[in-house]
Amino acid sequence: MINKRRGQGAPAASETSPASHGFSLISSEKLIELYATMLKCRMIDDRILILLDKYNLSGTYEALAGQEAAAVGVAIDLLPEDAISPSQRDLTVCFIKGVPLETIFRQIFARAGNPDPVTPDNVSSTRMCLGYEPLNLMAPPSTVEAQIGIATGVALASKMQKNGKIAVAFLGEHSASLDLCDAAFHYACENRLPIVYVWQNGRGDEGIGLKAQAHGVPAIPVDRNDVVAIYRVASEAFAHARKGNGPTLIECTPFCLDSNAGIGANMDFGTQIAEPCNAGDPILNMEKYLVGRGLFSPRLKLEIAADFSNELDAALAAACTPFGV
């Protein structure tokens, strides 16, 4: 299901003709939506960092910049009723799931009217965690251990209720050392729970992937800077879970690809990997991919950015004006 709100401000690259640039199982509209959503997430991060500095807000915010591919590729087609547990202090995943921008900005200022007001009369303090019950978005708990356990429990509830819902848990980079990962993977596999774990493996190590495989959970490595490949892997993992086949771990890791391979090339998991490396910016990578398919132009990027900048301005004004910010 495509979130129609996100699709606004993402015009088609009308001045190009994609028909002669090969075949893709993913529509041109979806490819542009993936790109536009990553760009919007980057703009949200930039705006939040500006606000934190301008108003000297306390609290820790971990920007998603450079990691948009995993968040967008996984979350963009989740159904509203599917549960998602973002990593701590990750507000852009909330946006991808469909949380209104005004609600996100209210959380930044910890204002009344947000789902989790902390200090509604004090703009010098904030909390970078957000839960949103209408979209089954779980607020990150104070510890990663609790996050993994809660998400796995939600998947168990879905299976017991036979409601067809799935759960998605984004795991931080420090999760590999947690013993609770072993317990969660074992329980999820043993009970064939409808859950997908997403690990942002920025260091290129194998710890959590080996834990998953040891308990029978398929661990699929995919280039963390390749939103097309992540989207394809996530689609398969979701179908796997909805059919009652159990959990999957999507391991978003830095890939060094063969020189003849490119974005989306590792969708069949057959790409030769040399060693972990810095594969660049996922947004720039996607721009190159869209150029190759005749779908990108500088005008497209400018139009998306301009339209969304107006949305950000309006949402920020609505969230803050009543409080004199």
Name the residue with tokens 């909805």. 242
* CB 263, CB 289: distance < 8 Å: yes
pLDDT confidence band for 128 (50 / 70 / 90): low
DSSP bridge pairs for 137: 84, 132
Query: Terminal CA-to-CA distance of the chain, rounded, Å?
Result: 36
Distances (CA, A) of 267 to 26, 230, 289: 12, 8, 14
Asked if pLDDT for residue 153 goes beyond 80, the answer is yes
At residue 278, the pLDDT reads 52
* Per-residue pLDDT reduced to its tens digit, 19-75: 444 556 899 999 999 999 999 999 999 998 888 888 877 666 777 788 899 999 999
pLDDT in tens, 284-312: 999 999 999 999 999 999 999 999 999 99
Domain 4-8+27-323 matching CATH 3.40.50.1000: the answer reads no
- Residues forming a β-bridge with 83: 167
User: Cα 241 to chain center, whole Å?
Assistant: 18
Cβ-contact 265, 257 below 8 angstroms:
yes
Average pLDDT of span 136-143: 74
Count of Cβ atoms closer than 10 Å to residue 162 Cβ: 8
Give the C-alpha separation, 202 to 21, whole Å. Answer: 32
HSE-up (13 A, CA, CB side) for residue 150: 20
DSSP 3-state of 219: strand
> H or E segment at 317?
helix 298-320
pTM: 0.82
According to the model, what pLDDT value does residue 55 have? 81
- Residues 109-127 have pLDDT tens digits of 765 454 444 333 444 334 5
Whole-number average pLDDT of the chain: 79
What is the per-residue DSSP string for 95-156? HHHT--HHHHHHHHTT-BTBSS-S-TT-TT-------BGGGTBPPP-SSHHHHHHHHHHHHH
Residue 86 DSSP class? P
In this model, does residue 98 exceed pLDDT 50? Answer: yes
Please, how many CA atoms are within 13 Å of residue 292, restricted to the half-sphere of its CB? 14
